[in-house]
Structure 1
Amino acid sequence: MAKAIMVQGTMSNAGKSLIAAALCRIFRQDGYRVAPFKSQNMALNSFITKEGLEMGRAQVVQAQAAGVEPSVSMNPILLKPTGDSVSQVIVNGEVLGNFSAQEYFAMKQSLVPEIRKAYRRLAEDADIIVIEGAGSPAEINLKDHDIVNMGMARLAGAPVLLAGDIDRGGVFAQLYGTVMLLDEEERPYIKGLIINKFRGDRSILTPGLKQLEGLTGKPVFGVIPYLKIDIDDEDSLSERLTGTEGLTQGSLARTVPEQADPLMPEYVRHQSLVEIDVIRLPRLSNFTDFSQLARIPGVCLRYVGSIREFGQPDIVILPGTKSTVADLLWLRESGLEVLIKKAAAQGRAVIGICGGYQMLGETLRDPDGVETGEGGLPQLVRGIGLLPVDTIFLPEKTRTQVRGEILSPAKGFDALKGRRIEGYEIHMGRSVIREGSGAEPFARLHAQTGGYSREKEDGCTAGTVCGTYVHGIFDADDLAWRLAESAVEKKGLRLTERAVLSQEAYRERQYDLLAASVRQNLDMEAVYRMLEEGV
């Protein structure tokens, strides 16, 4: 059976996921078979496996770092919030149902056998399992029946590294308080402490590190610097959602064509060529769909959550959401719906992904209360009306990996026609184009779920507006580049630079950079001793 090591944190977003990913890559580099594991994850960013099962993206990232195929055994329980106190509970990749926080707390012990079985499946084939905790192990109101922090450490017999986030302040209090709030029988599981996201001169920390070790009786294994690594984040705490993405500084250039209006101001270096506004919906899901766009030199990608932030984008994207109806009503109340319709009327491209695609249609119906059963939302809602599409929500969730080609790109983006796409669908609904509307399906797809496959049409295109159910659509081939290139050409300009590495090569390089930095700043000899000695 595999040896286990666990990464816990003093709080959410302390860096557990990335440290776990780094360890997965380091152990793989050192010749071991590695698998990531998180018994319970809460996130709206999810992924569909080849078997058509749903899991959290953090464990997908860690599996990629480990060089193994993502499996739901790596994340047997996934919670997807649908409101402030209700979540969809997914067990072994299948939807169990929607439960309130109190209902789930009462039932979660019954899920321990599923956690055990998933862990054992991984342990049969791996040399090392890197386990990630959730939130903090010192949430004293949640410690009873814990299945993801110390409860999981006990189940796996895993020694624990405890990480604190110095960037948010109070890291010594974080680490000391967490250790002291643990029960006497839990503290021995903590074998080492990590200071994460440090900026500055490490020598200044030395007196504090020694005092912390004296107070807690736990050695500090490392001080990991604040890393500029481009690896997909998982949840709404991501810094990507609070500002502008894209390489708007450095080796960017705009080129004025020879026949340009002589009064046109000369474009200078360090300016963006393409501006993309992604609407930051309250229940935004799978925002990693747009990571590849933000990596293109010349692209400025913003997450927009209010009318004040909405600029003059070349492209507007309505992303996926866990609660389409609620977020559509928010969009209407916030005033952003008016700006999106205005952008479309001006001939700007508007793209909807999954729930965003559903919003762009004429109507959304929910006769079974799939989405609107909680919170008293209306079962029939008017859509934004930019696509002649009607959507009906269905109880059964569509979960499948897909590949195919674009049939009808948005007007002005003809270079995308026939381009290969691939990704995955996660949605509870079916959208139908109105007969006689003149609109065209966006793509033709080959859907593969387990041993079953079929051909189907997807999405809708009408003028400069299009929508699709496919997540990850911009990751395949050079679709993101072609989209940006077409947007630039509409201005009579051209992109002058292109990424040299493929997406896969770029991703692998980022994992290697992450591993190199963590290896340099973490006492790996002590980590390996942890593995050998256990608890």
Structure 2
Amino acid sequence: MGAIMVQGTTSSAGKSILCTALCRIFKQDGMKVYPFKSQNMSSKYHKTKDGKIIAIAQALQAWAAGLEPHENMNPILLIPNSDLSSMLIINGEDSGETTSVDYFKNKAVLREMITERYKEVESLNDLVIIEGAGSPAEINLSKDDIVNMGMARIADAPVLLVTDIDRGGSFAAVYGTVMLLENEDRRRIKGIVFNKFRGDRSLLEPGIEMLEKLIDIPVVGIIPYIDLNIADEDTLTDKTKKCEDGSQTRDELEEELEKLAEVVRANIDMDIICKLAGI
């Protein structure tokens, strides 16, 4: 049993899509792989066959892994009602409305529940693909974190850090994220992935060489911009897709998942990824 975690320099950096791709790639390679995100905040959700509620991203990752979506894949989901309150979903069940302050007061209890869920899924699968949320460098939240480095510690998982180069500022975002982390957490980051790259990769090489020297972490992937018809969960995305109006068939989704896996496999060092995952 192994695990690998994907964290990001920002929201909408590409965590969900990279986790989805890895779920499909490892499924293609014959592994029993399972997606996991301890805490998600998303207005887009999916109801499982049992009527449980999880984030749409974990449902997509489940399908990529050849599984039916299950509440264990996303033990905590916050569905925003306003800037200060959210509907709290725990283990797929509606637990009522919570404010940010009240939610943070319950982090210790929630950590125990998340640890139990994670240990359960870890014991039943060859590999768990864990997704973080936002950025691990939110230093105001790091003390009670249960979704980024706090989750990496629970799982004792190596971390891939992904950044969206299409938005600009990726080198600074990677460097700043790494430098703001405690030494223990910094050492968990084993690879950097640049996402949504457009143009000639040779133009990146000088920057990559300098970045690797500065942070002593290798760049293991440069994923090109891919136009995919796969639902986004992030509010930072501004593109309306066909898949979000309910007209996309399962076969059409499968085609998109295969396309995603093909592109990511061709542009990431899977030998390193497999080694990190203990495969």
TM superposition score category, shorter chain reference = over 0.9
SS of the residue aligned with 2:204? helix
- Among 290, 302, 308, the alignment partner of 2:245 is 290
TM-score, with length taken from structure 1:
0.51
Superposition deviation, residue 172 in structure 1 = 0.2
Kept after mapping to 2: 8 A contact 1:232/1:291: no
SS of the residue aligned with 1:103? helix
1:14-93 aligned within 5 A? 14-93=13-92
List 4+ stretches of structure 1 deviating above 4 A. none
SS of the residue aligned with 1:55? strand
Kept after mapping to 1: 8 A contact 2:10/2:135: yes
Question: How far, CA to CA, are the matches of 2:195 and 2:209 in structure 1?
Answer: 16
Q: How far does the alpha carbon of each residue in 1:113-136 deviate from its partner, in whole angstroms, 9 at most, with x for none?
A: 211121122122210100000000
Equivalent in the alignment of 1:157? 156
Percent sequence identity over aligned pairs:
51
1:227-266 aligned within 5 A? 227-241=226-240
SS of the residue aligned with 2:34? strand
Question: How far, CA to CA, are the matches of 1:516 and 1:110 in structure 2?
Answer: 40
Question: How far, CA to CA, are the matches of 1:124 and 1:112 in structure 2?
Answer: 18
SS of the residue aligned with 1:532? coil
Question: How far, CA to CA, are the matches of 1:120 and 1:149 in structure 2?
Answer: 17
SS of the residue aligned with 1:186? helix
Equivalent in the alignment of 1:188? 187
Amino acid at match of 2:262: A
Superposition deviation, residue 291 in structure 1 = 4.9
Superposition deviation, residue 143 in structure 1 = 0.5
Question: How far, CA to CA, are the matches of 1:181 and 1:30 in structure 2?
Answer: 36
Q: How far does the alpha carbon of each residue in 1:248-298 deviate from its partner, in whole angstroms, 9 at most, with x for none?
A: xxxxxxxxxxxxxxxxxxxxxxxxxxxxxxxxxxxxxxxx65052xxxxxx
Larger Rg belongs to: 1
Question: How far, CA to CA, are the matches of 2:182 and 2:189 in structure 1?
Answer: 12
Amino acid at match of 1:34: V
Question: How far, CA to CA, are the matches of 1:155 and 1:113 in structure 2?
Answer: 10
Question: How far, CA to CA, are the matches of 1:84 and 1:160 in structure 2?
Answer: 30
Superposition deviation, residue 239 in structure 1 = 2.7
Amino acid at match of 1:290: D
The alignment status of 1:529 with 2:275, answered yes or no, reads yes
Question: How far, CA to CA, are the matches of 1:51 and 1:225 in structure 2?
Answer: 37
The alignment status of 1:507 with 2:239, answered yes or no, reads no
Question: How far, CA to CA, are the matches of 1:120 and 1:112 in structure 2?
Answer: 12
Structure 1 residues 291 and 14, CA gap change in structure 2 (3 angstroms): farther
Amino acid at match of 1:522: I
Equivalent in the alignment of 2:211? 212
Superposition deviation, residue 240 in structure 1 = 2.0
Question: How far, CA to CA, are the matches of 1:155 and 1:124 in structure 2?
Answer: 14
Kept after mapping to 2: 8 A contact 1:109/1:147: no
Superposition deviation, residue 522 in structure 1 = 0.2
Question: How far, CA to CA, are the matches of 2:46 and 2:107 in structure 1?
Answer: 22
How many residue pairs get matched?
279
Equivalent in the alignment of 1:101? 100
Kept after mapping to 1: 8 A contact 2:231/2:244: no
Equivalent in the alignment of 1:122? 121
Task: Structure 1: give runs of 5+ residues left out of the alignment.
Answer: 247-287, 293-474, 476-502
Question: How far, CA to CA, are the matches of 2:119 and 2:153 in structure 1?
Answer: 14
Equivalent in the alignment of 2:10? 11
SS of the residue aligned with 2:64? helix
Amino acid at match of 1:25: R
Kept after mapping to 2: 8 A contact 1:25/1:511: yes
1:357-396 aligned within 5 A? none
Equivalent in the alignment of 2:131? 132
Kept after mapping to 1: 8 A contact 2:36/2:72: yes
Equivalent in the alignment of 1:202? 201
Q: How far does the alpha carbon of each residue in 1:475-527 deviate from its partner, in whole angstroms, 9 at most, with x for none?
A: 6xxxxxxxxxxxxxxxxxxxxxxxxxxx1211111111100000000000010
SS of the residue aligned with 1:96? strand
Question: How far, CA to CA, are the matches of 2:152 and 2:235 in structure 1?
Answer: 26
Question: How far, CA to CA, are the matches of 1:121 and 1:50 in structure 2?
Answer: 20
Question: How far, CA to CA, are the matches of 1:291 and 1:159 in structure 2?
Answer: 36
Task: Structure 2: give runs of 5+ residues left out of the alignment.
Answer: none
- Most deviating of 179-188 and 89-98: 89-98
Equivalent in the alignment of 1:169? 168
Structure 1 residues 175 and 114, CA gap change in structure 2 (3 angstroms): same
Kept after mapping to 2: 8 A contact 1:39/1:147: yes
TM-score, with length taken from structure 2:
0.97
